[in-house]
Structure 1
């Protein structure tokens, strides 16, 4: 996270959250994370959903990598960039 914030100073105003599970969505794949752009007096938010990430990862190292990828993907969404632009090491591990 610190590396991303150094590279993208505009992330200083983004709120990063961990929630247990995403809101219920019928018939779709369960998301691992989400992002919400800033509105009026609310900051932009990046959310990682803990339970889906735990279920899709086999161990601590895999979980850490998955969380990083989810955060990079959601930051990319907020900034209107590709994940590779946000973090050149995205998808290389």
Structure 2
């Protein structure tokens, strides 16, 4: 009996390319040509950073300002939930992701309109920091259209 086990084990050896069930190796689920997966947080961060870089290039007063993202504002007894906080002395603008994403009312729920809503909040927060109207933050070439 012992001789038989050793003989079968020596003669029946599967090649390395087979899995434990005798099948060949399978391809990975996500192949390299597919775009990387992104999340809502990644898209929000990208929208804030591109709008902030645009504003920094247009307004020298904003070059030293840090645009930060937090999930929720601290609890307050005020009416309403703030979408951002402007700290002029500390040169910081804090945008709150969850209130912006969940409390914004879009007339069309798609990626473009969500991005425009986020960018609009960045512009309004920067306008509050500069004590200007948000419509005044665009460069001269956009004012007449």
- Structure 1 stretches of 4+ with a deviation exceeding 2 A read 56-63
Call closer, same or farther: CA 1:61–1:10 in 2, change over 3 Å.
Answer: same
Count of residues in correspondence between the two structures? 85
Is 2:98 the counterpart of 1:51? yes
> What are the ranges of 5 or more consecutive residues in structure 1 without an aligned counterpart?
none
> What are the ranges of 5 or more consecutive residues in structure 2 without an aligned counterpart?
1-51
When the two chains are superposed, the root-mean-square deviation of aligned CA atoms in Å is 1.9
Question: 2:69 is matched with which residue: 18, 21, 25?
Answer: 18
**Structure of greater Rg:** 2
**Greater relative CO, 1 or 2 (CA 8 Å, sep 6+):** 1
TM-score (norm 2): 0.52
